[in-house]
Structure 1
Amino acid sequence: MKIRRLTVLALSGAVLAAASACAPGTASKSESKDTQTGTVKVWLYDEANRAPKEKVVADAIAEFTANKPKVKVEVSYIPTDAGPRAEKMKGAFNDPNSAPDVVEFGNTDLFGYVAAGGLADITKDLEGWTEAGGIPKDLKDTTMVKGAQYGVPWWIGLRSLYYRTDVFTELGLKAPTTYDELVAAAKQVRAAKPDMFGIAVGGKYTFGALPFVWSAGGDLATEQNGAYQAAIDSPQSQAGVKAYTDLFTKEICPAEQCADLTGGKTVEAFAAGKAGMAILPNSSRSAVEAGAAKGKYAVVPLPGKTAGSIAPAFSGGNDLGVMKSSQHRTLAVEFMTLLASSKYQVAMFDAMGNLPTHAAAREQVVAKDPFLKPFMDTLNAGTKFVPKDAAWAKIDAQTVVPTMLQKVITGKADVAGATKDAASAMNDAFGGK
Structure 2
Amino acid sequence: MQAWSALDETEGRNSVLRRRTSIRLLTAIGAVVATLAATGCGSGGVPDSRTKLTVWLMSGPVPDATVTAINKDFETAHPGVTVEYQVQQWNGIGQKLTTALTGTSGGPDIIELGTTQASQYTSQDVLQDLTDSIGDLNGPQWLSTLKESGSYGGKQYGVPFYAANRVVIYRTDLFQKAGISAPPTSGDEWLADLAKLKALPGIDPLYLPGQNWYALLSFIWDQGGELAENVTGTWRSTLNTPQAKAGFAFYKQLVETSGTTAPKDTDEATPQQSDVISKGDVASFLGFGSELAAAITANPSLKDKFGAFPIPSRTPGATAPVLEAGSVLAIPANSKNADLAMDWLKIETSAKYQSQLAATDSVPGTSSDTSALQTTPVGKAMVAASKNGRVTPNIPQWTAVEADNPLKSALTAYLTGRKSLEQAVSDADSAITATLTNSN
TM-score bucket (shorter structure):
0.7 to 0.9
| 1:320-331 paired onto structure 2 within 5 Å | 320-331=329-340
Selected match of 2:313 from 299, 304, 318: 304
Task: Tell me the amino acid that sits aligned with residue 56 of structure 2.
Answer: L
CA separation in 2, counterparts of 1:224 and 1:325?
35
SS at match of 2:131: coil
**How many aligned positions are there?**
388
CA separation in 1, counterparts of 2:133 and 2:355?
24
CA offsets per residue over residues 128-178 of structure 1, 9 Å max, x none?
Answer: 326211123233112122222111111112111112211221221131111
Task: Tell me which residue corresponds to 1:283.
Answer: 290
Task: Tell me which residue corresponds to 2:57.
Answer: 45
CA separation in 2, counterparts of 1:135 and 1:364?
17
Task: Tell me which residue corresponds to 1:77.
Answer: 86
SS at match of 1:263: coil
Task: Tell me which residue corresponds to 2:13.
Answer: none
Q: Is the 8 A contact 1:146 1:226 kept in 2?
A: no
CA separation in 1, counterparts of 2:303 and 2:137?
42
| 1:250-261 paired onto structure 2 within 5 Å | 251-253=257-259, 257-261=262-266
CA separation in 1, counterparts of 2:81 and 2:329?
19
Q: Report deviation, 1:388.
A: 1.4
Deviates more, 1:276-285 or 1:419-428: 276-285
Deviates more, 1:209-218 or 1:116-125: 116-125
Q: 1:59 to 1:164 in 2, by over 3 A?
A: closer
Q: 1:424 to 1:270 in 2, by over 3 A?
A: same
CA separation in 1, counterparts of 2:107 and 2:66?
23
Task: Tell me which residue corresponds to 1:221.
Answer: 228
Task: Tell me which residue corresponds to 1:234.
Answer: 241
Query: RMSD value over aligned CA atoms?
Result: 2.6
CA separation in 2, counterparts of 1:58 and 1:273?
36
Q: Report deviation, 1:216.
A: 0.9
Selected match of 1:63 from 73, 77, 82: 73
CA separation in 2, counterparts of 1:369 and 1:201?
23
CA separation in 2, counterparts of 1:385 and 1:49?
20
Where does structure 1 lack aligned partners over 5 or more consecutive residues?
Answer: 1-34
Does 2:122 match 1:114? yes
Deviates more, 1:325-334 or 1:230-239: 325-334
Task: Tell me which residue corresponds to 1:210.
Answer: 217
SS at match of 2:343: helix
Task: Tell me the amino acid that sits aligned with residue 311 of structure 1.
Answer: A
Q: Is the 8 A contact 2:370 2:383 kept in 1?
A: yes
Task: Tell me which residue corresponds to 1:316.
Answer: 325
CA offsets per residue over residues 344-403 of structure 1, 9 Å max, x none?
Answer: 1223455x554422334423432x5454111111112x2111121222222112131110
Q: 1:73 to 1:96 in 2, by over 3 A?
A: farther
Task: Tell me which residue corresponds to 1:387.
Answer: 393
Deviates more, 1:134-143 or 1:355-364: 355-364
CA separation in 2, counterparts of 1:319 and 1:110?
8
CA separation in 2, counterparts of 1:46 and 1:238?
35
Task: Tell me the amino acid that sits aligned with residue 60 of structure 1.
Answer: I
CA separation in 2, counterparts of 1:415 and 1:189?
27
Q: Is the 8 A contact 1:186 1:277 kept in 2?
A: no
Q: 1:67 to 1:226 in 2, by over 3 A?
A: farther
Q: 1:226 to 1:309 in 2, by over 3 A?
A: farther
Q: 1:58 to 1:136 in 2, by over 3 A?
A: closer
CA separation in 1, counterparts of 2:289 and 2:61?
19
Selected match of 1:423 from 429, 432, 436: 429
CA separation in 2, counterparts of 1:387 and 1:203?
23
Q: Is the 8 A contact 1:211 1:313 kept in 2?
A: yes
Does 2:181 match 1:171? no
Q: 1:138 to 1:104 in 2, by over 3 A?
A: closer
Task: Tell me which residue corresponds to 1:413.
Answer: 419
Q: 1:37 to 1:122 in 2, by over 3 A?
A: farther
Task: Tell me which residue corresponds to 2:108.
Answer: 100
CA separation in 2, counterparts of 1:102 and 1:378?
30
Q: 1:68 to 1:165 in 2, by over 3 A?
A: closer
CA separation in 2, counterparts of 1:184 and 1:427?
37
CA separation in 2, counterparts of 1:109 and 1:48?
16
Task: Tell me the amino acid that sits aligned with residue 118 of structure 2.
Answer: L
Task: Tell me which residue corresponds to 1:356.
Answer: 364
SS at match of 1:162: strand
CA offsets per residue over residues 197-222 of structure 1, 9 Å max, x none?
Answer: 22221112111221111111112222
Q: 1:246 to 1:37 in 2, by over 3 A?
A: farther
Task: Tell me the amino acid that sits aligned with residue 185 of structure 1.
Answer: D
Where does structure 2 lack aligned partners over 5 or more consecutive residues?
Answer: 1-40
| 1:179-218 paired onto structure 2 within 5 Å | 179-190=187-198, 192-218=199-225
Q: Report deviation, 1:315.
A: 0.9
Task: Tell me which residue corresponds to 2:149.
Answer: 142
Q: 1:390 to 1:335 in 2, by over 3 A?
A: same
Q: Is the 8 A contact 2:119 2:149 kept in 1?
A: no
Q: Is the 8 A contact 1:101 1:327 kept in 2?
A: yes
Q: Is the 8 A contact 2:210 2:262 kept in 1?
A: no
Q: Is the 8 A contact 1:288 1:294 kept in 2?
A: no
Selected match of 1:152 from 129, 152, 159: 159
Q: Is the 8 A contact 2:115 2:146 kept in 1?
A: no
Q: Is the 8 A contact 1:40 1:101 kept in 2?
A: no
Task: Tell me the amino acid that sits aligned with residue 41 of structure 1.
Answer: L
Q: Report deviation, 1:65.
A: 4.3
Q: 1:277 to 1:353 in 2, by over 3 A?
A: closer
| 1:239-278 paired onto structure 2 within 5 Å | 239-249=246-256, 251-253=257-259, 257-264=262-269, 265=271, 266-278=273-285
Q: 1:411 to 1:73 in 2, by over 3 A?
A: same
